[in-house]
């Protein structure tokens, strides 16, 4: 249920994020990274399920490889993209954490009018962000696991893969 502030309750957020995870599972199994997750790129079908749109930044990228293209919406860009360290599917998991926060609060966690300031906030990390009390402990934990500075530590990128996100 959407509130007047433009955010969703936890049940609705969980459903939409689960739909995104399924879309990522499909794309990643075909070696495609999406790289532009944000509310504007999510449409709903007649049954209420999400459809990702705008594949302009999507890229075929095989396991073990990285890409260095700087792209994405500033509030959703992973630290490794900003630092030009190369990125892969773990950048999609970062953006899922940002989306989850935005769906629950109505604003992304890393938010500033100036994109350069936004990037600096991102580089300070998710632990520097104050979470509203309205976000449950479980949701906060998941967002923090998805938005780890080190891509190898992100939920979904470890041994259990995307199934770790699905279990959470």
Which has the closest alpha carbon to 41: 25, 56, 27, 54? 54
> Residue 58 corresponds to which tokens in the numbers above?
């999507």
CA distance readout (Å), 46 to 20, 43, 123: 17, 10, 39
Active-site annotation holder among 9, 25, 36, 164: 36
User: Under a CB-based contact definition with an 8 Å cutoff, are residues 65 and 33 in contact?
Assistant: no
Active site residue 164: no
Catalytic residue ranges: 36
């Amino acid at each position: 249920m959407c509130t007047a502030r433009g955010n969703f309750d936890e049940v609705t957020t969980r459903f939409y994020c689960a739909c995104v995870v399924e879309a990522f599972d499909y794309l990643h199994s075909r070696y495609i990274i999406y790289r532009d997750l944000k509310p504007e790129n999510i449409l709903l079908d007649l049954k209420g399920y999400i459809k990702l749109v705008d594949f302009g930044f999507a890229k075929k990228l095989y396991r073990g490889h990285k890409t260095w293209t700087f792209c994405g919406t500033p509030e959703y860009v992973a630290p490794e993209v900003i630092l030009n360290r190369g990125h892969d599917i773990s950048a999609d998991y970062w953006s899922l954490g940002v989306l989850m926060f935005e769906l629950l609060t109505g604003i992304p966690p890393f938010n500033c009018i100036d994109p350069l300031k936004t990037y600096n906030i991102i580089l300070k990390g998710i632990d520097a962000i104050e979470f509203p009390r309205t976000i449950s402990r479980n949701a906060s934990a998941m967002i923090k696991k998805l938005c780890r500075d080190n891509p190898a530590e992100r939920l979904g990128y470890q041994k259990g893969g995307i199934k770790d996100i699905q279990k959470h």
